[in-house]
Amino acid sequence: MRLPFHKYEGTANDFLVIERADDLDPAVVRALCDRHRGVGGDGVLLVRPGPRPRMIVRNADGSRPEMCGNGVRCVALHLARTRDDHGPFEITVDTDAGPRTCVVERVGDTGEITVDMGVVKVLDTVSVEHEGRPIRLVRADAGNPHAITFDPLDDAALDALGARLQTDPLFPSGVNLERVVDDGDLADTLVFERGVGRTLACGTGACAVAAVLVAEQRRSFDRPIKVRLPGGVLRISLERVPSGARVRMRGPARFVFAGTVELPVGAAS
């Protein structure tokens, strides 16, 4: 069975966008995302087109997270391209974390997309032991779970701690780990992503980082926060609401290429 796909990236987080009503077997997703034997990607975004499209996210390991901020920008650009709408193009995409309204400003195969990411909740602070010292983590819910630390962690320690937290009882559903170095202008962030490992960007992670910065009074609600990830900068605006912070994320997406791939019989789950 030949299956068409479109490759997109948002701040270097790369995905296969596939228009499909059915889900895919996790083993098929892992094969598609394999960078040596497959197409390669941080995940697969399954899109059910229509007036109210739906996005299902599959991580590179086949798991199904609730939401993907960079992914929803890529899907919004894909929908604008397929409808040949140069915008501003507005559409609401249903996700497992709820609806996300996107505004696409498109120039050809690229776009700047602003997404209403809903309410991000800063939950509590916990401490975990790593390499003989306590690491302070701030837990946040951006539609999926995050743990943000401002403690110094080198790259190897970030990867080791991120992997270990996936089975820690403090995080029964796993967690995305963000290490932040904040200079008051840019919040430099590295991400270990649940179901993927180290990634060049995480949209929901950037939103969670911004919400924690405001909750800890390192920043304020009155100006956007620039979160710099290895793949680029995302601009996060926050509005105070009773249940936390309502967040809007602005960042790029780009169409890379399209192709078809052979799927085994019974690939739908």
Question: Same CATH fold, 119-251 and 2-102+253-262?
Answer: yes
Domain topology for 119-251: Diaminopimelate Epimerase; Chain A, domain 1 (3.10.310)
> What does the pLDDT read at residue 244?
85
| Choice among 33, 74, 102, 202 that is catalytic | 202
Phi and psi (nearest 5°) for 159?
Answer: -65, -40
Q: Which residues contact 131 (CB under 8 A, 6 or more apart)?
A: 157, 160
Tell which residue, 90, 65, 220, 195, has the closest CA to residue 141: 65
Conformational region of residue 175, where left means phi above 0, alpha means psi within -120 to 50, and beta covers everything else = beta
Alpha-carbon Rg for the chain, nearest whole angstrom, is: 18
**The two structure tokens encoding residue 31:** 């094969």
Could you give the CA distance from residue 156 to residue 55 in angstroms, rounded to a whole number?
Answer: 33
pLDDT of residue 85: 79
Considering the entire predicted model, what is its pTM? Answer: 0.94
Residue in 68, 74, 102, 207 annotated catalytic: 68
Q: Where are the domains of the chain?
A: 2-102+253-262, 119-251
**Tokens 């809007």 appear where?**
248
DSSP class of residue 24? B
User: Is 33 designated active site?
Assistant: no
109 C-beta neighbours (distance < 10 Å), count: 13
Chunk the chain into consecutive blocks of 10 residues (it has 269) and report each block's average pLDDT, rounded to whole numbers: 94 97 93 95 94 95 96 97 87 96 96 97 96 97 97 96 97 97 94 96 98 96 96 97 93 98 71
pLDDT per position as a tens digit, 119-152: 999 999 999 999 999 999 999 999 999 999 999 9
Domain 2-102+253-262 is found in CATH 3.10.310.10? yes
